[in-house]
Structures are given as C-alpha cells and as structure tokens.
Amino acid sequence: MSSSSDQEVPSPKPGIAVIGIGDQALLVDGWTSATVTGHLGAWLWVGIDGTTSVGQLIDDTACTFNLDQDTARVQVTHFVDQLSTSGLVQGIGTVEAEREALELRVITPPTIGDLVGDLEGRDEAGNRWALSDLRGNQMLAVYWSPHCGYCATIEEELQGLLGKLAANDITTAIVSTSSPSNLHSAPDDTDRYRLLLVPIGSPGPFLGFGTPCALHIGADGRLADEPAHGNLKVLELARKLAGVPAPAAEARPQRALYLLNTEGGSCAPASKPGPTIEWAGRRIIPIEGYHVGLGYDSPMTANILDDLFESQAVVDHLAGQSYAVALRATTRSPESDGPSSNLNLLTRWGQVLVRSRYASRVLRALLWRLGDQITPAPTVPGQLLVRATPAKVGGRMVLLQPGLHILADRLQPLLAQRGVALADTTYCYVDLTTRELVIPEVSIPHNASVLKDVDVNVTSRAELPPVVPGRYKLDSWGVAHRSDLSVTRFTPAEAAAATVSFVHGIDDPVACLRLLGRLFGDIDGFGLWYDSEETYVDALVTALSLH
C-alpha cells in the first residue's frame, strides 16, 4: 500500500472519542469501530488537527521521543495510513485513492425483458430436464425449500392456485435443492407442476435470492414480470397469473401474531444438505399471543410438545414453521430402558441447531430460542447482556463467539473429550460485580416436569451433561480473530474492542467499552483462528491450557 507523503495534512474525523484502558487507548468511532493504539498513537492523535502536516508530525515525534528521523518516519506514516484506511482521518490522498479503488462484485437481478438463464436438474424419478425445456409455454418458476419456514406460510394457498395457473396455460416449476424423500412442504399435486431438483450451490437464475422466490418467464424465455422475492410477493405474483384477487383485508383477520410475518420474508439458500428426517407433520402452538409452527418427526414428539407447552394445538397455516424437533431418545420412546446412542435434534430451516442424547437439552434450547423472539431478554442493572456461546469447563465458564452450532457436527464430541460442554442459550449475562456468568432461566411458559422426566440414561464420551441455567465463575472470553497465530492473547483494550459488538442493551459505545475494559482487567480475553473443527478445538485447548 502507498504511504502518506510529508506534505499531506491529515484531518481527524469528527466525533472520535478517546478512552484509556490500561496502558493503551481506544479511538472510538461510535458503533463503527474501536481502534487500539499505544502511548505513541494516543500522542499522535492529539497532533492530528487538520493543520499539521505528516512531515511536521515526523519531526515532532523524533524530537519528543528521542527517535532518529527514519524510525520516526516509519512509525508516523504507518499510524497515519492505518487511520486513513480505517476512515478515522481524511486528507491522505494515496491511501484514500486505493480505498476507493476497491470494487465489490454486485449481483444484479434480472429485469423485465432479460433472457432468463437456464437451470438443469432432475425430477423425482431421476430424469434430467431443464427450465429451457418448457420454452414455448409461460412458466412460473418458484424457488422453494421444504425446510424454509416462509415457504410453509404460503404452501396451502399456493397449492390451491396450481389448477388455476394450469387453466391459464402457465406451467409451474418448483425448483428445490432437496432430495425427493425430503420434499414434504412443496405442493403435492404433481399433475399441475413440474419438480426440478438441483444441486446445492447451483441456483441458476435464482443466484442471490432466498426461498421462496418466483420468476414469471414468458414463452420466449424472457422475464415477463419483476422477480418476486419473499413469501408475500410470491403469492402476489401467483395470484395475478392465476387471475385470483387477493383476499380482502376484512376476510383475513389478524387472529394471532406470527414469528414469520416479515414483509418479503425469505430464507437463505441452502449451503449444505439438511438432516435426512422424515418429518411427520407440524404443530401450531399458541404461545404468548403468537401462533408458532413446530415440525415434528413422530406422534410421540408431537405429544411431548403438547405437554411441554400445556396448550391445545390450533390450525393456522399462516404460522409457517419456525423450528422442527426430532426426539429419538426419551423416556417415552420404545425400548428406552437402557442407555441410548440416538440423537435428538432441534432444526431451523434445514440447519441443525442442537443435536443431543438428552431430549431435555433439545427442548430447553427450543424454549430459549422462542424466548429470544417472543419475550426478548431484558437488561439487568449491573449486568452486561451479551450474545455469545457459554462453554463450561469443569467448574468455570468461558464465553465463545456466537453461532458455534454451525460447527457442531464434529465440534461437540471433540470438545467433550477435552471436558468442554457448550450451552445452547443465545444470550446470557455477565455480572460486573461478581464476575459471574449468568445463564438465564427459560422465559416462555412451559411444563417444567417434561424437562425433568424426558431424559433416558445417557452414557457417552461424546457428550457431557447439558449446561443448565445458573451462575458460574467467568474465566475468560474468546472470539474469532484473524491472525497468523492460532491463539492471540489480548490486552484489556484489545479484548474490549473485540467483544463490544456482542454486548446488547447499551446505547453508548464509550460507556460499553469502559465497562468491558474493567471486566478484562479481571478475566482473560483471547482470539482464535482456525480452519476446521479440529483446529478450533486445538486452539481453544491451547488458550485455556487444557493440555
């Protein structure tokens, strides 16, 4: 990267706050960034006033810190260039020009009149065909996933429109990445639609779109209407082509609240195959004024869900499907007397969130996640509300980055062999007085006896007992941190800057960083860099000295 010249005059970005943590300083640009610097950087920041040139800063630094000119030049230009790259100073032309030269590849959606790209796959019988095979006919191509909760909100009405679409000489093509055995949410009238099963990562004309999405393709293969993104727009386009008016507002009373009523709601395209589970159906459970769709794998699981929520399931297809539960190892399962190696699952839109031999763990994780959406965690005086993954290591607790369930296929057993158990709550609290981690109780009303009585005897080296609500001694906090090292030991200032984005409920970033700075005076902060589940565990073992 080019460096700043002696004649350039850097100007500080307005509104930057400077706070001291330990022997370092943080330059705080609101919630945008927190840049860690040492004593020299803090001193230089004061001198960057919009009138002093880089050359003058070099001279002043050499004089004040008794440095030779070459050393002062290297340190000053490096610092000023870093600040310019971060957007904290202006007036460094070479660096700004390089920053502006960076280009992002933008995915441009097709517009009306564009020739729609082809997409080839197979049908349920394994016969190969492509969208272009339907040229000469008008087509409604619907990008669909049986795991998508938003697809589930419209499946009933879309299925009812298939006959009218066919009567209007419009062929419906359902495009999905799922295998035939998993295609249970798609409309099931195969006489009135064509199924195109495509490999994951091959979206063709649906590149950049989530599910559901729909394209109206004319007989000439060109886009005939604007692309329809999300559940509501897909239905709107399908009704228009079927010649069916939208239901009048008075005919659609708001009977309940829904978790999936976002305008244009859609799920991200699948990045890997979902679990191969034969889902038996969907329960719509009334919870705190909401109708929540929960998929289940068997009548036994459905009965357990009914008992857990102590409510009568309702019929309401608009609720869609927010989560799905598969219970294979419970006290109600056949032959449940001995230890079980079967895994219970909690999934959301095809992605496994929790897999466990403990049914109570899966159900408690479901309750926690519903609570996040229906009764969000409140702020508590004297405590930080954080989004992170608690990990129990013996009698102490460590905070790790959120979203570790993405690595859970192999991460859980690898960690269990090292004595580490991950908790399933999305949010937790840090008590700033006692330096304890507080895993909250479930906020959703439920029958606690179900959690108490549902587990079978578990004997496995691949999974430790579930981490339950309570207070635990907080030992350290680790996050993903790009580095040449697998483990980076943070100073208190670096740890505060690395974790501030995970704190919720505090409006003032400076106040938040000060609280974190004091916290990291008592606990350790570290960064992990890895490229697989195995290297993640190795790095964590090193960071926690678990050898």
Q: What's the pLDDT score for residue 106?
A: 62
Half-sphere exposure of 44 (CA within 13 A, CB side): 31
**Least confident range of 273-277, 446-450, 527-531:** 273-277
Residue range 212-240: mean pLDDT, rounded: 94
Please say if the pLDDT value at position 181 is more than 90: no
Instruction: Show me where the domains of the chain are located.
Output: 11-101, 120-245, 281-543
Residue 448 dihedral angles phi and psi, to the nearest 5°:
-65, -25
More confident residue, 264 or 420: 420
Q: For all residues of the chain together, what is the average pLDDT?
A: 87
Q: What's the pLDDT score for residue 275?
A: 63
More confident residue, 291 or 107: 291
Q: Which residue, among 283, 355, 279, has the nearest Cα to 321 in the 3D structure?
A: 283
Please say if the pLDDT value at position 432 is more than 70: yes
pTM: 0.82
Q: What's the pLDDT score for residue 419?
A: 93
DSSP 398: E
Beta strands in 409-529 (DSSP E): 420-422, 427-431, 436-439, 470-480, 487-489, 503-504, 524-528
Tell me the pLDDT band of 96, cut-offs 50, 70 and 90: very low
Please say if the pLDDT value at position 345 is more than 70: yes
Q: Are 423 and 474 in contact (CB under 8 A)?
A: no
Tell me the pLDDT band of 183, cut-offs 50, 70 and 90: very low
Please say if the pLDDT value at position 246 is more than 90: no
Residue 221 dihedral angles phi and psi, to the nearest 5°:
85, 10
According to CATH, the superfamily of the domain at 11-101 is: Coenzyme PQQ synthesis protein D (PqqD) (1.10.10.1150)
CATH class of the structural domain 120-245: alpha beta
Tell me the pLDDT band of 124, cut-offs 50, 70 and 90: confident
Residue range 331-358: mean pLDDT, rounded: 76
Q: What's the pLDDT score for residue 338?
A: 46
Positive/negative CA dihedral, 511, 513, 518, 522: positive
| Digit-coded pLDDT (tens) for 362-410 | 999 999 999 999 998 899 999 999 999 999 998 899 999 998 877 666 8
Q: Are 317 and 159 in contact (CB under 8 A)?
A: no
Please say if the pLDDT value at position 101 is more than 50: no
Q: What's the pLDDT score for residue 207?
A: 83
